[in-house]
Amino acid sequence: MEGWAGKYLEIDLSSGRIENHPLDKEMARLFLGGRGLGARLLWELVGPEVEPLSAENVLIFCAGPLTASGAQTSNRFTVTTKSPLTGTVCDSNSGGWWGMQFKRTGYDALIVRGRAERPVMIEIQRDGKISIQDAGHLWGKTVSEVTEALGQNNNKRNVLCIGPAGENLVRMASIMNDGTRALARGGPGAVMGSKNLKAIVVEGSEKNSANDPELFRFMLYETGKLIKNSPITSQAYPEFGTAVVMNVVNEIGALPTRNFQQTQFEGAEKISGETMADTILTGNRACWACPIACTRQTKTERAEGEGPEYETTWAFGAQCGIDDLPAIAEANYLCNDLGLDTISAGNTIGCAMEMGEKGLVDTELRFGRADLLLPTIADIGYRRGLGDELAEGSYRFAEKYGAVQYSMTAKKLELPAYDPRGMQGQGLLYATSNRGGCHMRGNMLGPEVLSLPRLVDRFANQGKAGIVAVHQNEAAVVDSLVVCRFTNVAVSSEYFARLLTAVSGIKFTADDLLKVGERVWNLEHLYNLREGFGRADDTLPERLLNEPVPAGPSKGHTARLHLMLDEYYQFRGWNEQGVPEAAKLKELELEGV
């Protein structure tokens, strides 16, 4: 194969039917793969009448044209579904080895639909044989138990599965691959659980070879040079992991603390990447074909495992008022084993802590109670006691107690580790994100803090919308190629375009790719409009809009979304209600949808 395998697999768990389909070449050109292809297929397959946890919802696993090509970080893949947490289009994206191995089975995508009567697993063997097998003996097992039982072997056989949280339909359940990698945001694990699908094991033998090996080798050299020359990808992430960001975000007063009540955490240094390197870090590890190696291998007095990365360290740290790094690491290990999104879990626990302190809910949870992290996470994963309510996510939890103002979510997805009152563009990004409050739809940390590609005033509003939209489009195309977004710290679209040209033999320019990104973004937006979402949903929690930051470098600021949203819609070519104009749809070749 050269970029695309040219076919996808569809498995209906209700009927047991297994079918191959050719991949439409025009669809591949317009949406590439990964997130883009997933969104396009979901548009066709899952309409507004479908409940996310019903048999009619689908899971669409997609590789991209660069997956398994050998380009730096070309290990990634996506899963797309209708989210049980947000009700929006949702894709989650993961690294490791599984994506590479799946591509080597000779498929660009796998669509899983229906619901098995009993727990099952899917296996794609090296000889191409595909089977649906009984998985009753695996039901109830944790991620590490299942991964080991099914013979995970990083270069030959790769396991993707859910843990107890997915089985129990926890709305923030992740799908895990290769033991510790997560397709986490938006609760795809619950969709997999609703289908009685415990695991998917893949073994592949095909190669994604470059159409133009000479150009490909040159581009690998050039992109490798950029990654090696960037202090972020060659030093900061390998040595300190993504939690190297902690002190910087805290310093500028944009670190959400105690459920976004403050924006600086007095314990930030204790949970930073630097402290991790000095205390619990035992080594670092890389995904397939990755020269960055940001993965943390850590060990506490009681346990060892992978992580935590920045968002997790924040979620169980500053968000919960906890500066106990070993406790945070152990919370991460447990989330991985149960199959839980750490951002949503930590954010939701922080919400419960504030509500507990305010006497709105009967719980022992209080800010700083590191001792309650593990039991609370376990209760969420197994839906026990208060955990059963927290398993619904912070929005539904807070709503139940008439206190939705304490849910720090956008479109019911728990916000991550940047307070938009200290980074105005990030607020617009959260509010307009198609899968809800998320930093991976085009993080403004680059332009607003790290000078990537240029430093912009983080408190400015006018002129910010275009920058946000361009970053969103670029994120969408990187997620469709699929490569790791950390590569994008050093490598821009002009390089990705040439890499794709070298692999596929089809000429792509940087502008072509950004157009793909814009197309994907608009299609996802159209999907949400069809689901009934509108302008009123492009918003932020009341606290961020109306409560000024009490102290620190961002003191006095709120998230001034009202100054940016109209400009954003205009830049996007949408009307005042956020509906794309006909000319925009024509420009993006989306008239047919």
H/E element holding 91? strand 89-94
Return the residues of window 562-591 that contact other proteins according to CB under 8 A: none
424 forms part of the interface with other proteins (CB under 8 A): no
- Answer for which of 111, 122, 236, 345 binds other proteins (CB under 8 A) is 236
DSSP string, 487-504: GGGT--HHHHHHHHHHHH
* Rounded Cα distance, 321 and 319, in Å: 6
Residue 129 makes CB contacts below 8 A (sequence gap 6+) with none
Smallest gap from residue 262 Cβ to other proteins (A): 20
User: Which amino acid, residue 347?
Assistant: N
Query: Rounded distance, CA 99 to CA 101, Å?
Result: 5
| Residue 247 interacts with other proteins (CB under 8 A): yes or no | yes
Using rule CB under 8 A, residue 20 touches other proteins: no
Residues 552 and 430 sit within 8 Å (Cβ to Cβ): no
Token pair in block for residue 592: 């047919």
How far apart, in whole angstroms, are the C-alpha atoms of residue 454 and residue 387? 44
Work out which of 449, 503, 513, 540 binds other proteins, going by CB under 8 A: 449
Q: How far is the C-alpha of 356 from the C-alpha of 576, rounded, in Å? A: 40
Q: Which stretch binds other proteins (CB under 8 A): 140-148, 149-157, 390-398, 452-460?
A: 452-460
CB of 389 to other proteins, least distance (A): 37
Query: How far is the C-alpha of 426 from the C-alpha of 413, rounded, in Å?
Result: 15
DSSP string, 156-220: TBEEEE--HHHHTT-TTBPEEETTTEEE-TT-HHHHHHHTTEEEEEE--------SSHHHHHHHH
Select from 244, 280, 544, 561 the one that contacts other proteins (CB under 8 A).
Answer: 244
* Residue 240 found at the interface with other proteins (CB under 8 A): yes
In the complex, what is the shortest distance from the CB of residue 442 to other proteins, in angstroms, rounded to a whole number?
18
Does 235 help bind other proteins (rule: CB under 8 A)?
yes
Nearer to other proteins, 274 or 512 (CB): 274
310 binds other proteins (CB under 8 A): no
Identify which range of 182-190, 241-249, 355-363, 493-501 contacts other proteins by CB under 8 A. Answer: 241-249
Between 37 and 244, name the residue whose CB sits nearer to other proteins. 244
Q: Is residue 230 near other proteins by the rule CB under 8 A?
A: yes
Nearer to other proteins, 232 or 590 (CB): 232
Residue 354 CA, distance from chain mean position: 26
Min CB(333)–other proteins separation in Å: 24
Q: Is 272 in the site for other proteins (CB under 8 A)?
A: yes
Considering only the stretches 212-220, 227-235, 502-510, 583-591, report the one whose residues sit in contact with other proteins under the rule CB under 8 A. 227-235
Q: Are strands 409-410 and 304-306 parallel, antiparallel or unpaired?
A: unpaired
Sign of CA dihedral 511, 514, 516, 519: negative
Instruction: Report in angstroms how near the CB of residue 186 gets to other proteins at its nearest.
Output: 28
Interface with other proteins (CB under 8 A), residue from 225, 302, 400, 530 = 225
The nearest distance, CB 492 to other proteins, in angstroms, is 14
| Listed ranges 258-266, 297-305, 434-442, 450-458: which one lies at the site for other proteins (CB under 8 A) | 450-458
Q: Which stretch binds other proteins (CB under 8 A): 29-37, 178-186, 243-251, 502-510?
A: 243-251
State the virtual CA torsion across 366, 370, 375, 380 in degrees, nearest 10. 70
234 is a contact residue toward other proteins (CB under 8 A) = yes
Binding part of the chain for other proteins, among 5-13, 153-161, 185-193, 444-452 by CB under 8 A, reads: 444-452
Q: 158 - beta bridge partners?
A: 202
Residue 450 binding other proteins, by CB under 8 A:
yes
Candidates 451, 462, 575, 577: give the one binding other proteins (CB under 8 A): 451
Q: What angle do CA 446, 449, 450 make, to 5 degrees?
A: 55
**Which has the closest alpha carbon to 42: 26, 62, 14, 16?**
62
Element (H, E) at 426: helix 424-432
Nearer to other proteins, 268 or 523 (CB): 268
**What single DSSP character describes residue 561?**
G
DSSP letter string over 51-80? -TTSTT--EEEE--TTTTS-STTTT-EEEE
The verdict on 239 binding other proteins (CB under 8 A) reads yes
Residue (160 or 489) nearer to other proteins, CB: 489
Query: Total residues at the site for other proteins (CB under 8 A)?
Result: 26
Q: For residues 128-158, b (16+ Cβ closer than 10 Å) or e, as one string? A: eebebeebeebbebbbbebbeebebeeeebb
Exactly one of 47, 128, 151, 231 binds other proteins (CB under 8 A); that residue is 231
Min dist CB 380 to other proteins, Å, is: 31
Q: Which stretch, 94-102, 244-252, 381-389, 568-576, contacts other proteins (CB under 8 A)?
A: 244-252
Write the interaction track for other proteins spanning residues 43-82; mark x where CB under 8 A is met and - where it is not.
Answer: ----------------------------------------
Cis peptide before 482 (omega within 30 of 0): yes
Show contacts with other proteins in window 145-174 (CB under 8 A). Answer: none
Q: Give the Cα separation of 517 and 477 in Å (integer).
A: 4
Instruction: Find the binder of other proteins among 274, 357, 399, 587 (CB under 8 A).
Output: 274
**Distance of closest approach, residue 476 Cβ to other proteins, in angstroms:** 24
Q: Does the footprint of other proteins cover residue 222 (CB under 8 A)?
A: no
Give the amino acid at 264.
Q
- Give the residues lining the site for other proteins (CB under 8 A): 225, 228-232, 234-236, 239-240, 244-248, 272-274, 449-455
